[in-house]
Amino acid sequence: MGNEEPSEISARESREQTRQRRRLERAERKKKRRAEREAKQRRLLFPADKKGRHVMHLMNFLRVLFYPIHWLLYPFRLYGNKKIGTGPYIYVSNHYCIWDVFYPAHTTWEGVHFLAKDSIMHAPIIGSWARRLGVIGAMRDGSDVRTIMDAMKVLKNGEKIALFPEGTRNKVSDEEFLPFHGGAAMFAIKTHTPIVPIVICNRPHIFRMTHVVVGEPVELSEYYDKKLSPDDYAEAERKLADVLYALRAQFRAERAAKKRGRKKGA
């Protein structure tokens, strides 16, 4: 290389630059094709039928397919699941395992748009299914503008969304929830949408019954049409957590009272 003429060095550098440029162009084309493919697969808004229901046929197929599998492996009882009508709702639940997504889905035959980690949307197989099911990709802190706009579009279209405000599966405690991240309260307040609280009363374990309580829809109407600070939204999130704690405490107290009644009767 020390004996190379300047012209040879220049030619070699030019060839390397050309190869590098071509690699970048190929990578850019590949990225563009992937984005176009994802955009084509992505379903955000689902039209209402004659009864005003926003049906996701793929989700209904998966409900029928996985319901018995879910129930056999992780048996569960839903309490209060008949309260949900048509129209927009925001499901809010604590979060223990991947199967938790089925509890909101079992309350309705309408579609439910789940908020999930944005990385899931780009996974090779799961991402394709998620986009077809109208899943909304979100950053962990729920602060990205696209997530906010997509969630609000869905709610204003009369559809349902579901999210786990803890942001990740709770592997720390069976009693205390992880801190709630912003999102649910803000969506509810800005769109005047009722929140459906769902509390998983005990950590799901294989072949052990899990009790899941669906509470009455909650409206944060005291915050509507006001200029709110981040502290106001944080306060609203804490209120949601308190609703879940109260639902669980009430369920456990009623269950304990029934057990005592059966023992007395025996």
Rounded to an integer, the average pLDDT of 140-147 is 68
Q: For residue 212, which of 54, 61, 114, 71 has the smallest C-alpha distance?
A: 71
On the question of pLDDT at 139 being above 60, the answer is yes
Region class of 192: left (phi > 0), else alpha (psi between -120 and 50), else beta:
left
What pLDDT, on the 0 to 100 scale, is given for residue 32? 72
Tell me the CATH architecture of domain 38-265: 3-Layer(aba) Sandwich (3.40)
Q: How confident is the model at residue 23 (pLDDT cuts 50, 70, 90)?
A: confident
Q: Is the pLDDT of residue 11 over 80?
A: no
Give helix then strand counts, H and E, for the chain.
Answer: 8, 7
Mean pLDDT of 54-82: 93
Burial class (CB in 10 A: 0-12, 13-18, 19+), 253: exposed
Rounded Cα–Cα distance for residues 120 and 135 (Å):
9
pLDDT for residue 153: 94
Strand pairing report for 195-200 and 210-214: antiparallel
With tokens 């309580």, the residue in question is 213
* Residue 80 burial (10 A CB sphere; 0-12, 13-18, 19+): middle
Structure tokens at 171: 């592997």
List Cβ neighbours of 53 (8 Å cut-off, separation of 6 or more).
86, 109, 110
pLDDT at 245: 97
Predicted pLDDT at 144: 77
Q: How far apart are CA 79 and CA 81, in angstroms?
A: 6
pLDDT of residue 115 exceeding 80, the answer is yes
Domain ranges of the chain: 38-265
Question: Integer distance in angstroms from the first to the last C-alpha of the chain?
Answer: 96
Nearest to 166 by CA among 184, 187, 181: 181
How many angstroms separate the CA atoms of 150 and 70, rounded? 29
Q: How far apart are CA 146 and CA 139, in angstroms?
A: 10
**pLDDT (0 to 100) of residue 195:** 97
Single pTM value for the model: 0.82
CA dihedral of residues 161, 167, 172, 178 (deg, nearest 10): -80
Mean pLDDT of 178-203: 93
Q: What are phi and psi of 214, to 5 degrees?
A: -105, 120
pLDDT category of residue 38 using cuts at 50, 70 and 90: low
Q: What is the mean pLDDT of residues 244-265?
A: 90
Q: What is the mean pLDDT of the chain?
A: 88
Q: Band of the pLDDT at 84, cuts 50, 70, 90? A: confident
Looking at 90-209, which runs of residues are DSSP E strands? 90-93, 112-117, 136-138, 160-163, 195-200
Better-scored residue on pLDDT, 141 or 216:
216
Residue 14 — pLDDT band, cuts 50, 70, 90?
confident
Q: Is the pLDDT of residue 116 over 70?
A: yes
